Structure 1
Amino acid sequence: MTSDVVLVGCGELGADVGQRLAARGHAVLALRRRADLVPQPLQGLSVDLTRDRPDLPPLDLAYLVVALTARPRSEETYRATYVEGMARALDALAATGQVPRRAVLVSSTGVFGDLDPAVLADESTPAQPADGPARMLLQAEQVFLDRVPSGTVLRLSGLYGHRSTRLVDQVRAGTVADPNRWTNRIHRDDAAAAVVHLLTLGTPPETLYIGTDDEPALLGDVAAHLAARMGAPTPPAPDVELGHGKRFSNARLRASGWAPDFPTYREGYAGLSREPLG
């Protein structure tokens, strides 16, 4: 069966998106450094996009998803992966003459830089990257939208869930710092569902959405909730008057018809006692 979906990047989030599309009857081709790590029923293609342009098989392209990951977090690595690597993948697609009906680039709310927490930021808030990696992400967005006429950028806030246990580990160890920092998050399942939602909308989507849950929260409040569930040491209590950081709105994404299964961290961590999430 000729692939009608191409995933540029197939980490945990990309794989989840691909499997959801496969369940809808699509044939998914996933580009990853190691094709053997691409889960069934997706078809994997080994390629290091930081060095090589992929040699793509025949396609009948409907959807394109770019969901790359880069380590370490440096300007050089982010340029090589998100800007130059994505450009190589787009060059390969252009050589096939295939144009996707819909395309989504997974980006990050990190492109916004420092914001006033008194303001609930949305898609109209100017992006002002605070460091090199964030500048590379914003440059990648611009390249994507310039080259993919049907493209939509989805800026995700902090991903959690599944095998990610960072915050849970910090709460358990009693090492949570800065309880007064505003945090924004989205469960990985909701993030994957948002990508599929934007690809399959009945009407053309906007070019930019913020993907986050319904409730920005002070880190101290989230940590206290987790500590109570786990029986861990009570972390420092937050002081809302000292709150700093960013707060984001998902109003545009919700208005498009998407609704999170985990609208706040409370629902997202509800299964903590059975399967720790972070």
Structure 2
Amino acid sequence: MPDAAPVLIAGCGDVGMRLAALLQVHGQRVLCLRRNVAALAPGLPGFAADLADAASLRALPRGIRRVVFLPAPLAREAVAYRTVYLAGLANLLDALDEPALQRCVLVTSSAVYGEHAGAWVDEDTPPAPLGFNGAILLAAEALLLARLGESRGVVLRLAGLYGPGRTQLLDDLRNGTARVPRDPPFYANRIQVDDAAAALAHLLALPDAASVYLGVDDTPLPLHELYAALAQQLRAPAPGIGPPPPGIGNKRLRNARLRASGWAPRWPDTRAGYAALRVDPA
């Protein structure tokens, strides 16, 4: 039976709105917190607030029992990340009835991991962030678990998102500007946006959850294989050779823990997921 109290989605952007719509389909009330509620999809109830402004959170309704925290920093800068992920998370937990919270799912990223030379990585792999973003996300994870403990506090480390509206890679392939390393292979780890939303809905309701999960599809691929497959779908030239993406480390993310908990991706292979976006211009 759906919870009578709304699920608070704090930082309700693209993935958050997809999650909200999914929860509504199953009869769950939602409340979507963001600075500009006019940007919410029709039918989604909004709460206008800034996570960095503690005063703007004081009017949140009492009795909220489940929260998803997935804000978007205003800029790719350390101060912007600290503002939303550290100050913002603390502000939100302070504003809520913390003893009533049954589950808060914090969305972070695989940026908390370091360089692994293409080896497999899972939740037991020690984090070693290569950049400020990963370091701040890791600090936010520690903050959540210190405040709520395991099971009530749950972290979902997402891989790279793709899906409707996320076309930069496809545009680069069409334009012939995409470049990719080949030797040694550098691995792409991806998850389709609706699969990410479904994973969040799953973790909100999962009894006895672990403290950390990796959100990724079943098929990490060498970048040159993924790009070549997408170029073929697009009828575009194969990409040229170039350096690996900076600052993210070469690794293959394993989703075994999330799958064992009962979640399964609709799109287990990124190539099929992109094909479903009708990337073929014909």
2:33–2:49: 8 Å Cα contact kept in structure 1? yes
The reply on whether 1:16 has 2:18 as its aligned counterpart is yes
- 1:229-273 Cα deviation digits (max 9, x unpaired): 1111122479xxxxx711110011111111100001122112243
Counterpart residue number, 2:120: 120
Query: What are the residue-to-residue correspondences of 1:1-278 with 2, within 5 Å?
Result: 3-53=5-55, 54-94=57-97, 99-117=100-118, 119-149=119-149, 150-180=152-182, 181-201=186-206, 203-236=207-240, 245-273=250-278
Give unpaired runs (5+ residues) of structure 1.
239-243
Give unpaired runs (5+ residues) of structure 2.
243-248
- 1:27-82 Cα deviation digits (max 9, x unpaired): 21111011112224332111122234412343332311101111321111100111
Most deviating of 154-163 and 68-77: 68-77
Q: What TM-score does the superposition give when structure 1 sets the normalisation length?
A: 0.89
Report the CA distance between 1:137 and its aligned residue: 0.6
Change in Cα spacing, 1:162 to 1:210, as seen in structure 2 (3 Å) is same
RMSD: 2.1
The whole-number CA distance in structure 1 between the counterparts of 2:13 and 2:235 is 32
Corresponding letter in the other structure for 2:164: H
Change in Cα spacing, 1:151 to 1:47, as seen in structure 2 (3 Å) is same
Counterpart residue number, 2:245: none
Task: List 4+ stretches of structure 1 deviating above 6 A.
Answer: none
2:231–2:239: 8 Å Cα contact kept in structure 1? yes
**Structure 1 SS opposite 2:22:** helix
**Structure 2 SS opposite 1:61:** coil
Change in Cα spacing, 1:191 to 1:128, as seen in structure 2 (3 Å) is same
Corresponding letter in the other structure for 1:251: A
**Structure 1 SS opposite 2:33:** strand
1:10–1:68: 8 Å Cα contact kept in structure 2? yes
Report the CA distance between 1:275 and its aligned residue: 8.3
The whole-number CA distance in structure 2 between the counterparts of 1:163 and 1:182 is 23
1:3–1:59: 8 Å Cα contact kept in structure 2? no
Report the CA distance between 1:21 and its aligned residue: 1.3
**Structure 2 SS opposite 1:170:** helix
Report the CA distance between 1:174 and its aligned residue: 1.2
Aligned residues: 267
